[in-house]
Structure 1
Amino acid sequence: MLSSSMAADAQPKAVWYRYYDKGVANISSTVTPAHIRHGYEALDANMQVIRRNKPYNAEKDAQQSTVRAAQAKQYEQDARLKRAYGNSSVAINKRNEQLASIKKQISLQQAQVKQLQSDRLLLKRQEMEYFRKGTTVPFELKQSLKYNSDRIIQTKNNIENLQKNYQNTQTYYNNIIQRLQAME
């Protein structure tokens, strides 16, 4: 406490503010818009420069406003991540749970494809038996083959979607983990 109050006492207070307009020094006891526009110096009671403030540039400020807005948005998102996960180890555990769940779904879908393919072999054998005998294939068998073929295609599409979901989830959580580690 004492060291911070002593440091505050050591910093002299500004008494005067000076700016130059076309080479002419203008001094006042308050900061005016002209001071801000031209840039000014804060002076102590002995007219010694305490600090210099650069002129305000509206164009530069407008250009930087998008950068500041993006930084503010990033800061807000980081704060939200910090509230949601707390730290990177929580996010790592969450990622691992999500990925394990998706892997389980993929393996179930793959098992289903294997079962559908073995069913298809049985149905095809039945169809070939009808062809060998020279009789017409029953409508129900044709329907079963079509349904089976459609289910195989649908299940393979599900597997592709799950694999994409796995990659997206991994990328999503890796980004979160990196951001959380940067804040730690």
Structure 2
Amino acid sequence: MSRVRLRRGRRLAPEARRESLLAIAADLLLEQGYLPLGVQDLADGAKVSKALVYKYFPGRHDLYNALLEASLDALSEAVLSAAAREQDAVRLATATAEAYFRYVAQAGPLIQLILRDRFMAGHVSRQVTAFRDRITRRLARALCAQFGLSPRQAVACVGIGLTMPEECGRLVYQGDLDLERGSVLCHELVLGVIDVARRGGLETRR
């Protein structure tokens, strides 16, 4: 999402206005680095009234769920298509991680910023939770099948593994790491987690 610069008083169709508010909120949150975002700050950035912001996002958590849903809509096609035909756990994990890494490197760490903020605890929408669980289950099943991990071990490995593309992507987005080096680093770190999963499976089978 990139911020849409608007002049005060410009009229937009409702869907365009909503998209504009989401784009501006995403930029402001990435700058701020934590939740919640001041409604007045968003209104000032969008050059609208607070009342208009509340019209589109009436609840305290509605804006952040809308941002998550928009981000996951953009991410889902890349992640799911990258891994759609993969059955091998290693290829599935690395393809998913690469797609996620490149998304964060381009769009910023908005997803992790919102999901990990205590402000959203217990308030993440069902749509977002379902997407996250679908990705986690698919990766966990592949690890269980290939390495003999227990479901709990597999979910733990997936949780750790998904932090790698997030952090590498964040460093690229911030300009602290170039894209290609970030991709290589992400790949190496994910392979490290997979190696832990492999060894964990061997221990479980003993």
TM-score under structure 2 normalisation? 0.23
Which structure has the highest strand share of the two?
1
Which is bigger in relative contact order (C-alpha 8 A, separation at least 6)?
Answer: 2
Report which of the two structures shows the higher radius of gyration computed on alpha carbons. Answer: 1
TM score, norm. by length of structure 1: 0.26
